[in-house]
Amino acid sequence: MIHPRETPCYLCMICPEVCPTGALEPVTKQEVNMGEAVVDADTCYAFIDILCRACVDICPFQGTAIRQNAALEPVVDTESCVGCGLCVKACPAQPEAIRVVRNL
């Protein structure tokens, strides 16, 4: 189980190899499908005029899964976000202004 604020998925792709039950199949990083990031505009620094790029800078899919709009606010591309949670861990807001919603 992934708890993004504590330990996100670094997309190292080692888990399938070391899974003791064989429950995880090898996939590419782009095929990972744990969930998607959702930004809370009420607590995100960028939405309250504090310059912040933490989630954008940490994203392993630079410029696609999460990017900044013209107002420098983070925008999540639900087609590209794999739900790794690196953005959640990087978020300086308390409580975090971005979370991962798991895919069902």
The CATH number for 33's domain is: 3.30.70.20
Cβ atoms of residues 45 and 52 within 8 Å:
yes
pLDDT, tens only, 84-101: 999 999 999 999 999 999
Is 42 among the domain residues? yes
The pLDDT score that the predictor gives to residue 1 is 76
Centre a 10 Å sphere on the Cβ of residue 85 and count the other Cβ atoms it contains: 23
Q: Could you tell me how many residues make up the chain? A: 104
Q: What is the pTM of this model?
A: 0.91
- For residue 104, pLDDT over 70 is answered with no
Q: What is the dihedral of CA 22, 28, 31, 33, to 10 degrees?
A: 50
Cβ atoms of residues 30 and 83 within 8 Å:
no
Q: Which structural domain range is residue 90 located in?
A: 15-102
Report phi then psi at 45, rounded to 5: -55, -40
Is 6 among the domain residues? no
Is 92 among the domain residues? yes
Amino acid letter for position 24:
L
The pLDDT score that the predictor gives to residue 102 is 86
Is 32 among the domain residues? yes
pLDDT, tens only, 51-68: 999 999 999 998 899 999
Number of domains within the chain: 1
